[in-house]
Homo-oligomer: A and B are copies of this chain.
Amino acid sequence: MGFKFEIVKANRISQNIVEQIRSAILEGELKIGDQLPSEKDFSKHFGVSKSSLREAYRVLEAYGLLEIRQGMTGGAFIKEVDLSTVKDSLVNYFFFQNPGLREYTQIRTFLEPQVVRICAEIITDKDIEYLENNILAMEEEPEGETFMSDLDSAFHKKLVDITDNKIISLVVESVQKALINIKRIVHTDQDFLKMVCNGHRKIVSALKAHDPEQASHAMIDHINEVEKGMMASKGGTMIITEKGLLKKNRTSQ
């Protein structure tokens, strides 16, 4: 018998509701800001208990599709999925995949040089001003571990935002975020900071000259230098959650 049957899973009630609502959103029936009925009304409508409906709401909330507010004017509202939801999902995924520094560096060297190529063509004076201020702030930081990371992220984020490509922004920012977690423990001394500032200066200088080729090279050099700097002080991959928790992961795959 060459038939291929699909496995039938006894669907949970809450899962069924989740799918119905998610479909309604993806089909456009439910728009951002739309309010779903109250727990009481909606559970009655579905003919299920309040607990089942609540579980469905929790899941949709976890997906970032729903915002639930308490109080008289509260309720369940359709929400646009925000970046942090996707990033968290990526962080969870990367935690188990546990990519090496090489993998992060590689995708950066694929994307960011191209990003600054585009930037070189279309960057405005205002953008350049922002980037220069960012470098100044970084140089003035004395031993600014955390702050330096924020400024570093902001620098790269600014560049990718100029390209106006949401997908690339998401990827670059997520990689940046994952890298910060590694950087934070691995290395943050003055030499490292000076090296980063130097790299950023060269990139901005090329952008100012509207020279794509030079900008691209400056970016490649910068990314490779950063990797080298991080390799110098070895260490396992670390992940810092939103709540500031640390995790040293040395699983040998």
A residues contacting B by CB (< 8 A) are: 14, 19, 22-23, 25-28, 32, 51, 54-55, 58-59, 61-65, 80-81, 83, 85-86, 88-90, 92-97, 99, 102-104, 106-107, 110-111, 114, 163, 165-168, 170-171, 175, 239, 241, 243, 245-249
Contact = CB atoms under 8 A, between A and B. Distances in A.
A150 to B, nearest CB: 14
Given A26-B245, A62-B62, A165-B107, A93 B86 contact: yes
Given A63-B89, A63-B92, A85-B93, A58 B14 contact: yes
Contacts of A90: 86, 89, 170
Contacts of A55: 54-55, 58
Q: Is the interface of A mostly helix, strand, loop or mixed?
A: helix
A146 B104 CA distance: 33
Contacts of A95: 25-26, 81
A90 to B, nearest CB: 6
A192 to B, nearest CB: 23
A48 to B, nearest CB: 14
Interface centre among A83, A163, A170, A248 (most CB of B within 10 A): A170
19 contacts: A14-B58, A23-B241, A25-B95, A28-B247, A51-B54, A55-B55, A58-B59, A59-B59, A62-B63, A63-B88, A63-B89, A64-B93, A85-B89, A94-B166, A99-B167, A103-B167, A106-B163, A107-B111, A107-B168
A26, A81, A245, most chain B CB atoms within 10 A = A26
Contacts of A114: 110
B59 A166 contact: no
